[in-house]
């Protein structure tokens, strides 16, 4: 719903800056930020951060490499470590990140959207089964980003 109480269409005006936030900035938020940069190159300023600092995740690097996106140099960092916290939109991917983002709106004017996103680290089984859980998260984020921000394939894509 928008401020007037009417239903907001699935595709809204694209913000000029987006922060993707999750628990530890190791899996979901860096995936989303890399996908957003890839889908909207030079159109939107994109960052990612976590509530706590995590460790680089090799499965994240592997599944993003499948799309030609390199996260091997990604260093997880926290929301509190961001140099600039002035974003038009914060997309939260985990409950704790959503609570942190809502706290930020008390002092800064920004929109917050919660996209509940499964944590693939809970997957068990073989390496292939774990990678499939990461791919499911990656592909779900890509679909959501395309739908929310109005992505259209350019000729030759």
Mean pLDDT score of the chain, rounded to an integer?
90
pTM: 0.88
CATH number at residue 103: 3.40.50.2300
Nearest to 48 by CA among 94, 99, 13: 94
Strand ranges of the sheet holding 89-92, from the earlier edge strand across to the other edge: 45-50, 17-22, 89-92, 111-114
* pLDDT tens digits for range 38-67: 999 999 999 999 999 999 999 999 999 999
* 128 belongs to a structural domain: yes
* 155 belongs to a structural domain: no
* 156 belongs to a structural domain: no
Percent pLDDT > 70 in the chain is 90
Q: Which domain holds residue 139?
A: 17-149
Mean pLDDT, to the nearest integer, of 87-92? Answer: 96
pLDDT band at 12; cut points 50, 70, 90: low
Note the pLDDT of residue 109. Answer: 85
Name the domain count of the chain: 1
* 126 belongs to a structural domain: yes
Residue 122 pLDDT exceeds 70: yes
Note the pLDDT of residue 10. Answer: 45
* 11 belongs to a structural domain: no
Residue 30 pLDDT exceeds 70: yes
Note the pLDDT of residue 133. Answer: 98
* 141 belongs to a structural domain: yes
Residue 156 pLDDT exceeds 90: no
* 94 belongs to a structural domain: yes
* 5 belongs to a structural domain: no
Cα-atom radius of gyration of the chain, to the nearest Å? Answer: 15
pLDDT band at 149; cut points 50, 70, 90: very high
Separation CA 109–CA 94 (nearest Å): 21
Nearest to 121 by CA among 109, 98, 137, 105: 137
Note the pLDDT of residue 15. Answer: 93
């Amino acid at each position: 719903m928008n401020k007037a109480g009417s239903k907001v269409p699935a595709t809204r005006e694209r913000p000029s800056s987006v922060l993707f936030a999750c628990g530890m900035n190791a899996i979901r938020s860096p995936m989303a930020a890399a996908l957003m940069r890839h889908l909207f190159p030079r159109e939107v300023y994109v960052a990612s951060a976590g509530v706590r600092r995590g460790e680089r995740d090799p499965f994240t690097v592997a599944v993003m490499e499948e799309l030609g996106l390199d996260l091997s140099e990604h260093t997880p960092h926290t929301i509190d470590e961001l140099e600039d916290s002035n974003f038009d939109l914060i997309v939260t991917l985990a409950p704790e990140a959503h609570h942190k983002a809502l706290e930020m709106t008390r002092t800064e004017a920004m929109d917050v959207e919660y996209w509940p996103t499964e944590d693939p680290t809970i997957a068990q089984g073989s390496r292939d089964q774990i990678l499939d859980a990461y791919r499911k998260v990656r592909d779900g984020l890509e679909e959501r980003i395309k739908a929310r921000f109005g992505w259209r394939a350019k000729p030759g894509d």
